[in-house]
Amino acid sequence: MSKVLKVENGNYRVAVQDGGTITLDTGVETGTTVITGDLEVKGTTTTVESVNTTIADNILTLNEGELGAGISASNGYQAGIEIDRGSLGVGRWIWDDQINWTMGGDSGSGAWTSIEGTGTDFRPIKIPGVVGTGTNFFFDIGSGVLSVTGTSDYEEQIFGYTGGVITSGAIDDDNIPNTKAVVDYVAFSLASVFQDRIEEGTTTKTFVETKDFEVTGSDSVVEIGVDNVVRVSVKADTIELGDLQFDGTTIRPTDSNNNLFLEGTGAGEIVARDLFSIENTTGTPTFATNRLKLYVTTEDTGGTGLFFVNSTNTRDEIISNNRSLLYSMLF
């Protein structure tokens, strides 16, 4: 083997002309070889067999010298770190330029991924948390879903459970629930703490609300409000619709001093298709300037007990047929 030590342009050079090996031997494994200047290795393979390697550089550059746009096809569009796992497939943490993504109104290609072997056998990453870079945190999972499969009774870490049944609300307001937690909580709410009011609006609210005697101590009622005014009130024995109260077969104004009007529209009329009766009136009705009032009280000389008072305050009894014949003969 021919070895040459020579000086070229002020540099020392050790050459092995026939492609042999140059060994820097300190005599013992604990010895130290010190290179004071930069170390440049031009071979195709560098093997380091040390047990502990300390590197002062804060950034390691892989795939150095790439000239194309992205990692070249000859390198499989990938660059990263590979871990020897003996008889098992290697572990790789790589940058893959063939991963395309779209999220948060942005899109691009290239992402970090964890792989076992040299194909697409992806592996999970175990970390205690992820810190986002802005106000939003996005997931691009294509047609997949976010899942907590493998976690033991995850829902019981979201809401309070007893014996596998939800019994209380959120343990921590910031925890994200899974589907089972949501289903269980809806069932719990419907069974125990269902919302007693549905509403929309802020100041002039439109709403439907239930009030039960067991809770309020007052008569149970269901109310429907429009623009924060109760328009329908359903109680155990009456229904109030606007300013009308329905009590069995009785209709009356909700205000005891209001009148009840029956009105036909256009040329329509108020028609009674069956027996029409008037109960005896308590007291004497007052007259109204634009109305004729009929009322029933103790029968007088007219023989009917049906009286009227008109708009000029004329008050009299409507006479029966028999009495009218008798009076006509007498007078």
Averaged pLDDT, 1-29: 68
- What's the domain count of the chain? 3
**Could you tell me the two tokens for 307?**
């009286």
**One domain for residues 330 and 284:** yes
pLDDT for residue 245: 94
Cα of 305 vs its chain's centroid, Å: 70
Whether residue 285 is found in the same domain as residue 315: yes
- Residue that terminates a domain, selected from 191, 213, 236: 191
The tokens describing 76, both together, are 């499989």
Whether 201 is in a domain gets the answer yes
Residue 71 contacts residue 77 (beta carbons within 8 Å): yes
Strands 306-309 and 315-317: antiparallel
CA distance 330 to 322: 13
**Position 164, amino acid:** G
> In which band, very low, low, confident or very high, does the pLDDT at 42 lie, cut at 50, 70 and 90?
confident
Contact in structure between 130 and 139 (CB atoms under 8 Å): no
Surface-to-core class of residue 71, CB atoms within 10 Å of its CB (0-12 exposed, 13-18 middle, 19+ buried): buried
Is 300 a member of any domain?
yes
Do residue 184 and residue 201 come from a single domain?
A: no
Strand partners, 229: 226
Q: Is 72 exposed, middle or buried (0-12, 13-18, 19+ CB in 10 A)?
A: middle
- Using a 10 angstrom Cβ sphere, with 0-12 exposed, 13-18 middle and 19 or more buried, the burial of residue 278 is exposed
For residue 295, being part of any structural domain is answered with: yes
The model's pLDDT over 164-214, given as tens digits with 9 standing for 90+, comes to 999 988 999 999 999 999 999 988 887 776 677 889 988 889 999 999 999
Domain that holds residue 169: 154-191
Specify if 329 maps to a domain.
yes
Helices (H), the chain: 179-191, 213-216, 321-330
Please report whether residue 34 resides in a domain. no
Half-sphere exposure of 317 (CA within 13 A, CB side): 16
pTM of the shown model: 0.51
C-alpha–C-alpha distance, residues 24 and 139, integer Å: 53
Q: Counting every residue, how long is the chain? A: 331
Q: Assess whether 181 and 211 both reside in one domain.
A: no
Query: What is the chain's mean pLDDT, rounded?
Result: 87
Q: Is residue 88 part of a domain?
A: no
Query: What is the C-alpha to C-alpha distance for residues 185 and 187, in angstroms, rounded to an integer?
Result: 5
Is residue 323 situated within a structural domain?
yes
Rounded distance between C-alpha atoms, residue 6 and residue 20, angstroms: 17
Is position 211 within any domain? yes
Say yes or no: 291 and 324 in one domain. yes
Both 331 and 281 in one domain: the answer is: yes
pLDDT of residue 158: 94
The runs of H, that is alpha helices, within 62-210 are: 179-191
What percentage of residues in the chain have a pLDDT greater than 90? 48
Is there a contact between 191 and 172 (Cβ–Cβ < 8 Å)? no
